[in-house]
Amino acid sequence: MNVFLAAVSAHALVLALALLVALAAPPGRGRNLLAGGACLLLAGSGTVAGWVALTGAQGRISVPTPLAGLDLTLVPTPLGGLFTLVAGGVGVVCALYAIGYVQGASASRTSWSAFAVFIAGMMVVPLAADVVTFLVAWEVMAIGSTVLVFTEHQARASVRPAGLWYAVMTHLSFLLLAAGLGVLAAASSSTSFADIAAARSSGGLVSIGFVLAVLGFATKAGAVPLHVWLPRAHPEAPSHVSALMSAAMVKMGIYGILLLTRLLPSGPGWWALVVLGLGLPSALYGILQASVTSDLKRLLAYSTTENVGLILIAIAVAMLTPTRPGIAATALLAALLLTISHAAFKTALFLSAGSVLHGTGERDLDRMGGLALRMPVTTGVLAVGCLGAAALPVTSGFVAEWTLLQALIHADAHTDRLTTAVLPLVMGVVALTAGLALLTFTKAFGIASLARPRSPGAATAHEASPSMRVAMVVASLGVLAIGLLPGQLIRVLTTILPPGTARATGSGGLALPGADAALDPTAIIAFAVALTLPMVLTAYRLARRAPRQRSPLGWGCGGVRTSSRMQYTATSYAEPLTRVFADALAPTRDVTVTHVEESRHALQSMAYQQQLVDVVESRGYVRVVLLLDRVGDWGRTVQNGNIHRYLAFSFAALVVVLIGVLQ
Amino acid sequence: MSTTLAGSLAVAVQVLAITLAAPLIVGVNRQVRARLEGRAGAGVFQPWRDLRKLMRKNPITADGVILASTLSVALAAASGLLVALLPLATNLTAPGLRGDLFVVVSVLLLGSVLIALIGLDAGSAFGGMGSSRHMMVSALVEPTVLVAIYALSIPVGASTLSTILAARMSEPASIVSPVSALALVALLVAVIAETGRLPVDNPSTHLELTMIHEAMVLEASGRDLGWIELASWMRMTALLGLVANLAAPWGIAEEFTAPALAVGIVAVVVKIAMLAAVIGVVEIFLAKLRLFRVPELMAGSFVLGFLAVTASYLTVTP
Amino acid sequence: MAVIPWIALIIPAALAGISLTLPKASVVRHTPLIAAAALLGCGLLLVVRQPDGLTAAGGLLRIDALTAYLLLTVGAVAVVATGGATTTSANGRFSALMCLFLASMTLAVLADNLGVLWVAIEATTITTAFLVAHGGGRHGLEAAWKYVVLGSVGVAIAFLGIVLVFAATGEDPTLSWAALTTRAHLTDSARIGLALAVLGLATKAGLAPMHSWLPDAHSQAPAQVSGLMSGVLLSVAFVGILRLKTISDHALGVPLMRTMLSVVGLLSLAVAAALVLTQRNYKRLLAYSSIEHMGILAIGAAIGGPLATGAVLLHILGHGLAKAGLFVVAGRTLSATGTHAIADVHGLLVRRPSLGRPWLLGITALLGFPPFGLILTEIAIFVAGYQRGFTVVTSLALLLLLIVFAGLSRHVLAMTLTRPGTPEDEMGVDPASGGQRLVVLGAFIAVAMLPLLAWPLSSAVQAAVAALGGMP
Amino acid sequence: MTPITAQVLATAAGALLLTAVLLLWRRSISGGVALLGLQGLALAGLAVATTPDGELELYALAALLALGKGVVIPFLVLRTAATVGDAGQARAMVNPTVGMLLAAAFTTIAFLVARPLVTASTRPTAAAIPVGLAVVLIGFLVLTSRTHALSQIVGFVMVDNGIGATALLSTGGLPAIIELGVLFDVVLVVLVLLVLTRRIRDSFTSIDVHELRELRD
């Protein structure tokens, strides 16, 4: 019995079980536990299938359909196996988290069954072996996530437009893929990926197919300018769903682009520029919007766009340096590491954001504060997540960006003119993105968890339930594990990368022969601990002689009142940046001043209101929507109910056919 | 003596030396400025006295402040780690601690984040204002630092600082090449911005609206303030030492012997002191830039770094 | 085997007679359902027995795998439409006309002679005229008038086409489809004849530019009538077009029908896209969705080849079931809320789950989401389109489908999801009985089972495609 | 083709085209219906002319055609016109002169289109096919331009007469069952339209089809 076959059939059985349990179990804690457990099992079986595929299992599963010659086939590949593994891992953590988190609408039968379908969809997409299966699995993932985005439609009015944007953009992604992959299948006259890869076809048609497919995958990955659904859908979906979407579903877009580079290895040079053209703006624009928004989940959504941008840059560098295999392999490794590390820390961040929302009822950073005292575990996870997202030492983000930097630095000028011009620019953008990410996550962690609570909700925050805490801690341990021992991860990835790309050094460190660089995080940690020990000892000795004293009033140049309104909020924290990047963000500010009736000079009140809208959406997409509405209105005037006009249509059609057929 | 043990001991010695030397460097800088301003000045060893006083005083923290003590100690540790990673007194490195470009910049930024968090945790308007401005400046500084060191690494072909220094010592001509000159100027501007010297931030001011570094440490007191001051002095010394060594790499200890190490330490302290004195003199003539002109300065230094990179591409013979 | 088609014809006709004469209202109310069940039975029997081109009634009728498959479709959709809808004022005349309507559709399906096909299609127009006007008041009359005038004129064009095809058969004149498909050479008048015949049948198939009657007729007719018309009458006329395409591809080569069907298909999608965006009446929304799906079928037929044609046939069954179920639910929503306007209906999913859930389920099927079968057929048509060189046509179709998706989902979400903060106006109760709700749910489950029923369906679909001459 | 049948053929075809043009020109309902009757009889004449002599049941078919199209349909329309009342002037969307020009244009189109039909057909009567097509197109024009319900019915019957004529001329008549089926269908459609006209008259108080505009998007 082929191992892969066993894993996938087990996965299918568990899906049926999960759906049955979701529909049959009694509402309340009973259903949450049972359905959550079933989804946990589902994601677990997916992880097993991913692991089996990653470690090079063979096998082929094909399900017949009523149409001749159109079977749905699944074949394990190492690359697909990795992405199933990542999605499965994130699925396990999110299912565990959901058991404690869901209540009300997100604990309904439809939500649980949609959650199971969503996980199952993501497990199958990387294993699909031909165009039709890939598209069907893609839509299974789409329907699962669309239903989940709408769960809280009764609570907030903003859920419906967000869900609509999400559904339409997901369908745009599906149609772009259908076009792109269809053209590729036509160019190599077969729908199976193996044949497309073997055909090595090239020419104008293949380029069109490639660009369409890349745009389709970029829409799902949330790359600028196709990212508008991401900052709308993620804040509205329940946190465990937005964690799964951000950490796992977005990666299916990345898997697609990597698949394309494997199906069409010898593409022309400008293909890499297309991917780079999507990557650079995504990284910069994504982190810029993240740094100025004050809604925590919207911040995390935009940071996903930024990380997708970095991954696309890594893939583009891999495509730009075919003449230097060492560098191309390092860049590919960087892309994989960025994907895995983003999956880990974004899950931790979204789950902690959900726990904060669960505890304080607040989503806006301006109304949080002082959570470190009230929600220690969540703050700890948020700290680790923010460290990972800001790519600071000892976290998975650091290892991933380090690999990307090594690839960029060592791809020196010997390649062609194209890379010479592009590489310094890419280096500058990656560095600026890293800098802004620093500010963003300092703001996110600092404003949310330090100093005094800025709203009654934050003041009465309570810690999350046990299952949520376990899930969050597991996610943050993932971030730290990859950060500390990247060597173990490299051993797993060897089946995907070309031989000799990276070696795991003794103490879990990482060596890149291609770029002759080595990183040993455990050594850095050891030295840091060795340094801090004497300092802590002296601090402890000093503390015994001069104990700390508490006073109700801070210094603040002698005038501070203890009200929490005196503290900086997330909006004010990002105000200098908004001013520096004003033309890219186009903030709309208005100050309304109400004077006292008696005299013009005395102010009664002054209100400052700043509105930051997504420029891509307000300038690009809104115009398209208005155009479509005008087309709709024009269409309605044509169909105005006058029978003579209808008869004229038929008559004109008759005459046109008569003359057309004349010939 | 295995190289790893030698390397680690050398680095430990370097950290100890720089920890002791840092207050001295700041003392020199302040003394030079005092003399030029016609004041007697508090003497070169005043910072050591301040430090001793602060370490013995009771720290006072307002209600609602959560992580003040742990963050200040962590900040000191981060600065220590930064000093360990940079080739200041000795070029030897412990195996895991090769001063790789990105690792150095990340540890530098870790320090920035920690001090920003201290500012936020203070819970007062000034702490938030200082922290927000500091993070904006360090966000704009990071591209310049990365691109500048990247430009220096291209002629050498490796991105670890110790190899760059060894290469520059072997052929001094490369030090005055256009690539190195442009990169060094860009790096110097970036270091000045990062350590909060004029024209980006005035270290000696307490005027609410202009201070960046001082605003963050406003609420700190007693030994918390002590750790923070020590950390920022060590950071400034380390960064100035990096610039000094890149400009004049001679005297750095190549192998692990007592005399070489002593020479290395003395050489680096003298070089940093001279650089601190020069900065002191220059600061007299500079006024603080308006905050929203700082991005233009940063953009300028980034372009310098960018030119250095493209220049290095052109001169490299294929 | 030969007797089954006669049963399929005679039972509905006989039931029509019974429902006119029999006074007992309870029986008369259900005669259309009985007729539909009989058709479904005959269809199933024929599909299982796999007939291979048997002619009856002196060459006028024909039973092959295609007719068997179509009879099954007509029966299934009819059961859903008549079983699911609440027959409020079902008097004898209404049931009789419904049974006659079913009988004429069966005749159209079984017809081998093109003349008989024309007479049957015209009979469907006549029988449904008064059904559309039934209980609709002023709007019903207006819809009926437009339906009959436009429908008859369109079908008259088809008759002109058939006459010219008959003239083109030269020495031994024949109108039998089986004979015509074997004719290698037809005189030049066949070009004009076939083009006009297809244009005429396109009217009854609801394809643009001859579609104008469809929104009015389908939105005014009672639920089961519009369900039947939208679900299967359009498809029966479309299969007529498929039969004519087989003759044309065989005798005149492929380009004529390819260009014509592609143009008509894209036009239909464009009309549907333009009018779904800011639509205000949810029954007209369903009507335009029918035009859109007919556009997809036309493009699938233009692409040709065994894969696309199999997908078209499967799509007919899937779309028919889903659309019939949806029109029935729309009828119940109308009687519950008393308004056609989309803007006045909101929060169906929460306030009337028995209406909201099937409504959302059916629309998800139409939008092309798994687990429903339409996703598979649409992907098959797109992939076949690209593989057979229809790159531009398929890409344009994909773009228009995106606009239709946006329009349809915007309106349906507005109806089903709650608008927090808007005042709760009172809403009537859902009139359907348990059995009727089950029939509708059964229809959607059947559409969901389509891609999984590989074993029984694939042989039936492939045999039907072979019966169509494999569509070069 | 004996000279007599050729003569009958020519007169019948001429009568068909003439009645069509006159119908387009005259606007009164009663006049129109009379012309429609005439056209039915001309069609019957055409049927007689095109059948090879000696085919008895074809003659019966021609008689049935004459009865149906010439007598029954006009009678029904007139009866409804009486009950409906204001049978007077029906407003036309297109003024007569433009109508005439359009009729001429459509006749030329009919001749252009029919050219391949005439050359391809071996039948002697093929030369007259364009007349049938012309009547179809003019019938369509009447249908599209008249706003009166009854005149729309007249237009529809004209289209049908044109198609019948084309059938007779190009193929010498369809098989008997089909011919009967078609005739039966046309009569039924006219009946349905007349019933609907009477109902519209009751609820809309006028049978001006141009007012039927409430069903719009």
Across chain A, mean pLDDT equals: 89
Peptide bond preceding C371 in cis form (omega within 30 of 0): yes
Chain A closest CA to B305's CA: distance in Å?
10
The amino acid occupying position C202 is A
Confidence of residue B75 (pLDDT cuts 50, 70, 90): very high
Chain A closest CA to C328's CA: distance in Å?
23
What's the token pair of residue C342?
A: 């989309």
- Could you write out the three-class secondary structure of A72-104? EEECCCHHHHHHHHHHHHHHHHHHHHHHHHCCH
Q: Say what the pLDDT of residue C472 is.
A: 54
Q: Is D211 exposed, middle or buried (0-12, 13-18, 19+ CB in 10 A)?
A: middle
Task: Tell me how many residue pairs between chain A and chain D have CB atoms under 8 A apart.
Answer: 42
Q: Say what the pLDDT of residue A70 is.
A: 83
Partners of B117 in beta bridges: none
Identify the H or E element spanning C63: strand C61-63
Task: Render pLDDT for C269-295 as a digit per residue (tens, 0 to 9).
Answer: 999 999 999 899 999 999 999 999 999
Partners of A192 in beta bridges: A130
Q: Is A364 on the interface with B (CB under 8 A)?
A: no
Looking at the structure of chain B, the number of domains it has is: 1
Confidence of residue B116 (pLDDT cuts 50, 70, 90): very high
C-alpha closest to that of C321 among C450, C465, C434, C453: C450
ipTM of this complex:
0.91
pLDDT reading at B93 higher than 50: yes
Q: List A residues 622-641 in contact with D (Cβ-Cβ < 8 A).
A: 635-636, 639-641
Inter-chain touch D122–C170, beta carbons under 8 Å: yes
Rg (CA), chain D: 18
Confidence of residue D1 (pLDDT cuts 50, 70, 90): low
- Cβ contact D126:D116 at 8 Å: no
Determine the Cα–Cα distance for residues B200 and B203; give it in Å rounded to an integer: 10
Contacts of C237 (CB under 8 A, 6+ apart): C108, C121, C201, C202, C204, C205, C206
- Cβ contact C114:C246 at 8 Å: no
Partners of A549 in beta bridges: B60
Mean pLDDT of A176-200: 91
| Sole residue written with tokens 């115009």 | A623
C430-442 in b/e form (b: 16+ CB < 10 A) is: bebeeebbebbee
Rg (CA), chain C: 21
Q: List C residues 219-248 in contact with D (Cβ-Cβ < 8 A).
A: 219-220
The residues of chain C scoring below 70 in pLDDT are 1, 53, 57, 87-90, 184, 470-472
Task: Render pLDDT for A387-413 as a digit per residue (tens, 0 to 9).
Answer: 999 999 889 999 999 999 988 888 765
Q: Specify the higher pLDDT residue, A555 or A111.
A: A111
- Measured CA to CA in angstroms, residue A390 lies from A47, A303, A486 at distances of 28, 10, 18
C-alpha closest to that of C282 among C223, C326, C342, C227: C342
The amino acid occupying position A198 is A
Task: Render pLDDT for D102-145 as a digit per residue (tens, 0 to 9).
Answer: 999 999 999 888 888 888 777 777 788 899 999 999 999 998 88
Angle between helix axes B125-156 and A417-449 (nearest 10 degrees) is 160
Q: Say what the pLDDT of residue C89 is.
A: 61
Determine the Cα–Cα distance for residues D142 and D156; give it in Å rounded to an integer: 8
Nearest to C461 among A66, A159, A647 (CB): A66
* Weakest-pLDDT range from A200-214, A328-342, C79-93: C79-93
Nearest to C405 among A143, A168, A645 (CB): A168
Identify the H or E element spanning A438: helix A417-449
Closest-CA residue of chain C to D202: C138
CA atoms within 13 A on the CB side of C173: 20
Q: Specify the higher pLDDT residue, A469 or D28.
A: A469
- Following DSSP, what letter does each residue of A594-617 receive, concatenated? EE-SS-TTSEEEEEEEEE---HII
Q: Say what the pLDDT of residue B178 is.
A: 87
Q: Residue A110, Cβ neighbours under 10 Å: how many? A: 18
Q: Residue A646, Cβ neighbours under 10 Å: how many? A: 23
Alpha helix (H) residue ranges in B157-256: 161-170, 178-195, 213-216, 222-247
Mean pLDDT of A642-646: 89
- What residues in D contact C166, CB-CB < 8 Å? 167, 171, 174
- Cβ contact A457:A367 at 8 Å: yes
Chain A closest CA to B216's CA: distance in Å?
11
Determine the Cα–Cα distance for residues B60 and B224; give it in Å rounded to an integer: 9
Q: Which domain holds residue B115?
A: 3-315
Angle between helix axes A325-360 and A78-101 (nearest 10 degrees) is 10
Q: Is A29 on the interface with C (CB under 8 A)?
A: no
Determine the Cα–Cα distance for residues A508 and C439; give it in Å rounded to an integer: 62
Q: Say what the pLDDT of residue B132 is.
A: 92
DSSP tag of D71: I
Determine the Cα–Cα distance for residues D26 and D9; give it in Å rounded to an integer: 26
Peptide bond preceding A66 in cis form (omega within 30 of 0): no
Peptide bond preceding B199 in cis form (omega within 30 of 0): yes
Q: Say what the pLDDT of residue A551 is.
A: 83
Closest-CA residue of chain A to B152: A409
Q: Specify the higher pLDDT residue, A324 or A89.
A: A89
Q: Say what the pLDDT of residue B240 is.
A: 94
What's the token pair of residue C56?
A: 């009856």
Instruction: Give the pairing of strands A549-551 and A517-519.
Output: unpaired
Backbone dihedral region for residue B124 (phi beyond 0: left; psi -120 to 50: alpha; all else: beta): beta
- Cβ contact B102:B187 at 8 Å: no
- Cβ contact C160:D136 at 8 Å: yes
C337-366 in b/e form (b: 16+ CB < 10 A) is: beebebeebbbbbebbebbbbbbbbbbbbb
C-alpha closest to that of A335 among A136, A83, A521: A83
pLDDT reading at B316 higher than 70: no
Task: Render pLDDT for D165-180 as a digit per residue (tens, 0 to 9).
Answer: 998 888 877 888 888 8
Percent of chain D beyond pLDDT 70?
94
Task: Render pLDDT for B38-47 as a digit per residue (tens, 0 to 9).
Answer: 999 888 999 9
Inter-chain touch D216–A654, beta carbons under 8 Å: no
Backbone angles phi, psi at B62, to 5 degrees: -75, 165
Q: Is D189 on the interface with C (CB under 8 A)?
A: yes
pLDDT reading at B318 higher than 50: no
- Could you write out the three-class secondary structure of D126-146? HHHHHHHHHHHHHHHHHHHHE
Instruction: Give the pairing of strands A72-74 and A603-611.
Output: unpaired
CA atoms within 13 A on the CB side of B267: 21
What's this model's pTM, rounded to 2 decimal places? 0.92
Confidence of residue D90 (pLDDT cuts 50, 70, 90): low
Q: Is B58 exposed, middle or buried (0-12, 13-18, 19+ CB in 10 A)?
A: middle
Mean pLDDT of A584-607: 85
Torsion C341-C344-C347-C353 (CA) sign: negative
3 state SS of A549: strand
Q: List A residues 192-221 in contact with C (Cβ-Cβ < 8 A).
A: 205
- Cβ contact C125:D189 at 8 Å: yes
Inter-chain touch D171–C113, beta carbons under 8 Å: no
The amino acid occupying position C157 is I
Contacts 24+ apart (CB under 8 A), D114-122: D116/A662, D116/C188, D116/C189, D116/C191, D116/C192, D117/C164, D117/C167, D117/C188, D117/C189, D117/C192, D117/D170, D119/C188, D120/C168, D120/C187, D120/C188, D120/C189, D121/C167, D121/C187, D121/C189, D121/D170, D122/C170
C-alpha closest to that of A647 among C6, C399, D146: D146
Task: Render pLDDT for B215-226 as a digit per residue (tens, 0 to 9).
Answer: 888 888 888 999
Determine the Cα–Cα distance for residues A116 and A143; give it in Å rounded to an integer: 11
- Cβ contact C128:C147 at 8 Å: yes
What's the token pair of residue C175?
A: 């109108």
Determine the Cα–Cα distance for residues B155 and B178; give it in Å rounded to an integer: 12
Q: List C residues 88-107 in contact with A (Cβ-Cβ < 8 A).
A: none
Most confident of A432-446, B147-161, C76-90: A432-446
